[in-house]
Amino acid sequence: MTDAEWALIEPLLPAPACQRPAGGRPEKHHRRDIIDAIRYVTDNGIKWRALPVDFPPCKTVYGFFARWNASGLLERIRDALREQLRLRAGRNTRPSAAAIDSQSVRAAETVPTPTRGYDGGKKVNGRKRHIAVDTMGLVLVVMVTTASFQDRPAARPLLNRLHRTQRGLRHVWADGGYTGSLLTWAKATLGITVEIVTKLAGQVGFVVLPRRWVVERTFSWISQARRNVRDYERLPEHSEAFINCAMITMMSRRLTRPHPRATTT
């Protein structure tokens, strides 16, 4: 992390246990080093035990990663950075529209059988990522299931999460895999209109479609982190965590990137 990124992230972290009323031991390793180690694992896709020796011990880093994810801290950091990016772009912090989609990824041998499945359409044995993004492509909600879980039934818990966290959201774009009773259920239960963006008439191969390209680009961003190219995690919650970590890194870099100077002619 750069100094500017650390200045952005540090205020979002909770107070150490030793500074709370209940008390606790002082932390031996600086939190900046912990976050750098988590980012290193995310970006390079290495095993925890393969962390270079100039980082804190792998058990310490993994412990922070697991506790921060279980407490919802990674999601809160992701949401705080997203709101700052939206403000910088002149938008409301709370989006009124989103796009949803899924991505099936192959699972490594470390993924247990009960949490993996086979996606017959994509010919993938592994897990499926279901995400909702705003119109800038920034993640609002992420959910990881078995690859055999179909998009339509998975969209209900995904939209429920989206409704709980984004009360002002009223419109969602989706592809043809979400047609059917989902549309009437979302409107009647959540007050959300789901609009299906269909393929173009006579379309052959890949074509950039309005609204849908935003969420597809987000999957590309996520996959730039090597830990997300395949699913290696024993727990689906940790798969979600690494997606959030990749987005946090991308957004912190974007927020601290120097603005290009205006050129004059």
Q: What is the pLDDT of residue 207?
A: 65
Distance separating alpha carbons of residues 158 and 194, to the nearest angstrom: 13
The domains located in the chain, with CATH, are 3-256 (3.30.420.10)
What are the structure tokens assigned to 231, written together?
Answer: 């699913």
Q: What is the pLDDT of residue 155?
A: 96
What are the structure tokens assigned to 40, written together?
Answer: 């290193």
HSE of 112 in the Cβ direction (CA atoms, 13 Å)?
A: 5
Q: Where are the alpha helices (DSSP H) in 139-211?
A: 151-165, 181-185
Q: Residue 47: what residue type?
A: K
Q: What is the pLDDT of residue 265?
A: 42
Q: What is the pLDDT of residue 263?
A: 45
Q: What is the pLDDT of residue 182?
A: 94
Tens place of pLDDT per residue across the chain (265 aa): 999 999 999 999 998 877 778 777 888 999 999 999 999 999 999 999 999 999 999 999 999 999 999 999 999 999 999 999 999 999 999 999 999 999 999 999 999 999 999 999 999 999 999 999 999 999 999 999 999 999 999 999 999 999 999 999 999 999 988 999 999 999 999 999 999 988 766 666 666 677 888 999 999 999 999 999 999 999 999 999 999 999 999 999 999 987 655 444 4
- pTM here is 0.92
* Strands 117-119 and 124-133, bridge-based pairing: antiparallel
Q: What is the pLDDT of residue 208?
A: 66
Q: What is the pLDDT of residue 202?
A: 67
* DSSP for residue 56: P
Distance in angstroms between the alpha carbons of the first and the last residue of the chain: 36
Q: What is the pLDDT of residue 238?
A: 98
Q: What is the pLDDT of residue 20?
A: 78
Q: What is the pLDDT of residue 52?
A: 96
Name beta bridge partners: 119.
Answer: 124
What Rg do the C-alpha atoms of the chain give, in angstroms? Answer: 20
* Strands 97-106 and 193-196, bridge-based pairing: unpaired
Q: What is the pLDDT of residue 204?
A: 63
Q: What is the pLDDT of residue 261?
A: 52
Tally of CB atoms within 10 A around 238: 19
